[in-house]
């Protein structure tokens, strides 16, 4: 039971190399330096350099942390031991620490070597926190890892790689220099990286001549590497289901819609519901077309997909890392456009606006209380609900603002949403003919792309 469950990978038969990892160029360069050190340690030691004892790869799920570790295993001509953090933990206290000792003993015997611990947050969380105190087995396992990493000799070439998507919960002792000396962040891929990832995942897929991976990369903003792999697989499955010999751009578009919007639901709406949904989605689309700071429209449909009765989809022209007040305000206006259109046409509203209202309220709250976008409250951030209960940082901790301030925040959120809702209602009243035209086009065709929307609006 005390033996380590780590799996040893043979370097002679690598399945994945760095060529299979697209994007994340900065991370690849940092890790290639580690591999180069393991192959020729004397070159670095002669300059007085020592290899980092630990390398922590951080990033959202699906950005390729485990894939990067597999590529290192394929590139480095050294023993590679891989284990998940949860595999250390057992019912009996002390077993995890024994497995840590056994793992590091094996690695030291075969040094130079690499140890890879996936999902290290399962054993590396802050000690002595949480409801009811700590967790003896997990904390003893963490203590043993800290001891092993700090006990390396100066030039002992054993490197610990770890991956996590929750660096905020890790113990400070694990994050300090001497344990994990180097921290590598893997972000969501940008456009060129997404195109390169798509090329990797479509190497074995027979593509039709109309497939444009650059255009597809533009339409997949926010997709991780895992999402793009899933997109390519869904397109291939769809082509196979239709008995096609090649995967076309239409297959990729349908696969993307299935991933983003959800699969089409069986059953049809009643004529009354279909008419309500058509005006609701037309309200979103029209406000998006009228306001200057919105993302371009891509598609509007009244076919039920996933949990939605209809969808208005916008595609940003570029990744946004910093958004302005005007963009956020217009974004809320688009969210409220559907409800305002229902109120204008039917003189009442429906429950279909629930998700729109939730998103608009959450965004308005951040604008008022987090980003200082309110004259009455000023440039102050009122944070609440940020820490997690299991870390023990929120219980018995008083809020950092008074009840009077909380009331002011609520009042300003209501005022902001009310102003935008009034603006949206006036715009829809002014351009009612366009709203009617869009709704009739949706009722006739059920789905409109960007060109069809522009053509419909141009007639009025």
Q: What is the pLDDT of residues 181-202, one digit of tens each?
A: 888 888 888 888 888 889 988 9
Give the pLDDT score at 396: 46
Q: Which residue has the higher pLDDT, 386 or 408?
A: 408
Q: What is the mean pLDDT of residues 159-166?
A: 87
| CATH T-level assignment (fold) for domain 7-185 | Rossmann fold (3.40.50)
Q: What is the mean pLDDT of residues 128-141?
A: 62
Q: Which residue has the higher pLDDT, 48 or 340?
A: 340
pLDDT at 260 over 90: no
CA distance 89 to 103: 14
Give the pLDDT score at 382: 84
Q: What are the DSSP calls for 324-387, one per residue?
A: -HHHHHHHHHHHHHHHHHHHHHHSS--GGGHHHHHHHHHHHHHHHHTS---TTT-S-----S-S
Give the pLDDT score at 154: 53
Residue 299: beta bridge partners? 313, 449
Give the pLDDT score at 133: 47
Please give the mean pLDDT across all residues of the chain.
82
Q: What kind of architecture, by CATH, is found in domain 271-458?
A: Up-down Bundle (1.20)
CA distance 300 to 365: 28
Residue 313: beta bridge partners? 299
CA distance 185 to 57: 6
**Annotation marks residue 281 as catalytic:** yes
CB count within 10 Å of CB 248 equals 18
pLDDT at 449 over 80: yes
Q: What is the pLDDT of residues 9-39, one digit of tens each?
A: 554 445 677 777 777 777 888 888 877 877 7
- Reported pTM: 0.76
Give the pLDDT score at 366: 92
Q: Which residue has the higher pLDDT, 359 or 78?
A: 359
Q: Catalytic residue, from 137, 139, 195, 281: name it.
A: 281
Q: What is the mean pLDDT of residues 71-99?
A: 74
**Is 191-261 in CATH node 3.10.580.10?**
no
Q: Which residue has the higher pLDDT, 95 or 392?
A: 95
The domain limits of the chain are: 7-185, 191-261, 271-458
- What percent of the chain has pLDDT above 70? 88
Give the pLDDT score at 385: 52
- What percent of the chain has pLDDT above 90? 26
């Amino acid at each position: 039971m005390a033996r380590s469950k780590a799996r040893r990978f043979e370097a002679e038969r690598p399945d994945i190399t760095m060529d299979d990892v697209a994007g994340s160029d900065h991370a690849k360069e940092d890790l290639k330096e580690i591999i180069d050190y393991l192959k020729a340690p004397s070159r670095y030691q002669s300059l007085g350099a020592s290899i980092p004892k630990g390398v922590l790869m951080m990033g959202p799920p699906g950005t390729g942390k485990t894939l990067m570790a597999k590529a290192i295993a394929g590139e480095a001509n050294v023993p590679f031991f891989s284990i998940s953090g949860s595999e250390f933990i057992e019912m009996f206290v002390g077993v995890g620490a024994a497995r840590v000792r056994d793992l590091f003993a094996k690695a030291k015997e075969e040094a130079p070597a690499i140890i890879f611990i996936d999902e290290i947050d399962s054993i590396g969380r802050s000690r002595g926190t949480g409801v009811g105190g700590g967790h003896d087995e997990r904390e003893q396992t963490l203590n043993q890892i800290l001891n092993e990493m700090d006990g390396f000799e100066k030039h002992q070439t054993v490197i610990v790689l770890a991956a996590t998507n929750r660096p905020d919960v890790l113990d400070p002792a694990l994050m300090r220099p001497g344990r994990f000396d180097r921290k590598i962040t893997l972000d969501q891929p940008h456009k060129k990286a997404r195109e390169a990832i798509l090329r990797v995942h479509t190497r074995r897929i027979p593509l039709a001549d109309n497939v444009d991976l650059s255009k597809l990369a533009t339409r997949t903003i926010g997709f991780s590497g895992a999402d793009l792999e899933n997109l390519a697989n869904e397109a291939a499955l769809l082509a196979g289901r239709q008995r096609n010999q090649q995967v076309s751009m239409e297959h990729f578009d349908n696969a993307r819609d299935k991933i983003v919007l959800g699969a089409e639901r069986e059953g049809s709406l009643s004529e009354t519901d279909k008419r309500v949904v058509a005006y609701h989605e037309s309200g979103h689309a029209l406000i998006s077309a009228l306001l200057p700071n919105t993302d371009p429209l891509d598609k509007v449909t009244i076919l039920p997909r996933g949990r939605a009765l209809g969808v208005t989809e916008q595609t940003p022209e570029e990744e946004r890392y910093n958004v302005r007040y005007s963009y956020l305000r217009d974004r809320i206006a688009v969210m409220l456009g559907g409800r305002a259109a229902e109120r204008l046409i039917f003189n009442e509203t429906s429950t279909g606006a629930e998700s729109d209202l939730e998103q608009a309220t959450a965004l308005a709250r951040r604008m008022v209380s987090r980003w200082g976008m309110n004259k009455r409250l000023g440039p102050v951030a009122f944070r609440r609900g940020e820490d997690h209960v299991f870390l023990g940082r929120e219980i018995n901790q008083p809020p950092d603002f008074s009840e009077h301030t909380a009331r002011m925040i609520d009042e300003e959120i209501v005022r902001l949403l009310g102003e935008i809702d009034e603006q949206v209602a006036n715009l829809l009243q002014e351009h009612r003919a366009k709203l009617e035209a869009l709704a009739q086009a949706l009722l006739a065709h059920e789905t409109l792309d960007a060109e069809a929307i522009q053509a419909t609006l141009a007639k009025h």
